[in-house]
Amino acid sequence: MLTGKIAIVTGASRGIGRAIAETFARAGASVVICGRKQETLDRVAAEMGGAPGAILPLACHVGRADDVRRMVEETHRAFGKVDILVNNAGTNVAWGPALEIDEERFDKMIEINLKSAFRLIQAVAPGMCRRSSGSIVNIASIAGLRPLANSMVYNVTKAALIMMTQSYALELGPKGVRVNAIAPGFVETALSEHYWKGEDRRVKLVEQQPIRHLGQPGEVAEMALLLASDRGSYITGQTMVVDGGRLIS
């Protein structure tokens, strides 16, 4: 499905990003995996070995403009182009009551969850537009559609990412580039551990949704594959909810 395609997946050292990178590589793409630590990425790349697509581990703190620039340059040096960009790296360092959040954490959240996507799109989309071909997938959250308690800034960054997705989709569609978002519900990763760790919490959480299991990273990756590949050729500007039916319950 992705043979010959070059993808960058941010935050691919674990969780949803890693599952997306693995799924893309299995589908034949060459994938640049990014995270903050080279050592971790090297280990992950070695574990992914054997997929049809090549894996290139490149350390990059997505909140740092120089890191982003270097990663995109190295990707071009290695592969000559970028066909698919997945803005997945995200954090929730501002978890807690809204009135206790200071400006430093507010700014950090904007930098990592939102501005990083802007920086990366600005860096890779011009090449996609020149080739009239590309797919950008932003990993938002159902928290960007309906607020999660004690996560005010997280909610704001994800809602803004959804609007960023729609705005770029409008302008880049005529140039052959599709831009979509995925809004996962609760997925079993380190980021959401607080909500599901422990049998009681886990049972309570899944009983609140029609699909009675906690989302797995691979279930989000399947949606990313659809959006990244030509099978999603008529889809742009959308926010695909992958939440086990949580939002409708």
Ligand X SMILES: NC(=O)c1ccc[n+]([C@@H]2O[C@H](COP(=O)([O-])OP(=O)(O)OC[C@H]3O[C@@H](n4cnc5c(N)ncnc54)[C@H](OP(=O)(O)O)[C@@H]3O)[C@@H](O)[C@H]2O)c1
Determine the size of the site formed for ligand X (CB under 6 A): 31
Instruction: Please give the Cα distance from 222 to 217 (Å, whole number).
Output: 9
Query: Does 62 interact with ligand X (rule: CB under 6 A)?
Result: yes
Choose one: 59-67, 76-84, 125-133, 170-178; the region binding ligand X (CB under 6 A): 59-67
Q: Could you say which of 66, 97, 99, 190 contacts ligand X (CB under 6 A)?
A: 190
The nearest distance, CB 159 to ligand X, in angstroms, is 12
Query: Does 186 interact with ligand X (rule: CB under 6 A)?
Result: yes
Q: Which residues contact 226 (CB under 8 A, 6 or more apart)?
A: 232, 235
Of 135 and 157, nearer to ligand X (C-beta) is: 157
Exposed / middle / buried, residue 226 (Cβ in 10 Å: 0-12, 13-18, 19+): middle
**98 with 152: CB under 8 angstroms?**
yes
Of 116 and 135, nearer to ligand X (C-beta) is: 116
Q: Convert residues 28-47 into a mask of x (bound to ligand X by CB under 6 A) and - (unbound).
A: ------xxxx--x-------
Instruction: Please give the Cα distance from 104 to 116 (Å, whole number).
Output: 17
* CA proximity to 219, closest of 187, 196, 181, 178: 187
234 belongs to the catalytic site: no
Instruction: Please give the Cα distance from 171 to 178 (Å, whole number).
Output: 10
Of 61 and 178, nearer to ligand X (C-beta) is: 61
The nearest distance, CB 132 to ligand X, in angstroms, is 28
Query: Does 13 interact with ligand X (rule: CB under 6 A)?
Result: yes
Residue 183's H or E segment, with its range, is strand 177-184
Query: Does 244 interact with ligand X (rule: CB under 6 A)?
Result: no
* b (16+ CB within 10 A) / e for 66-93: ebbeebbeebeeebeebbbbbbbbbbbe
Choose one: 54-62, 68-76, 123-131, 162-170; the region binding ligand X (CB under 6 A): 54-62
Instruction: Please give the Cα distance from 177 to 173 (Å, whole number).
Output: 5
User: Binding residues for ligand X, per CB under 6 A?
Assistant: 10-17, 34-37, 40, 60-63, 88-91, 112, 139, 141, 184, 186-187, 189-192
> Which residues have a catalytic role annotated?
154
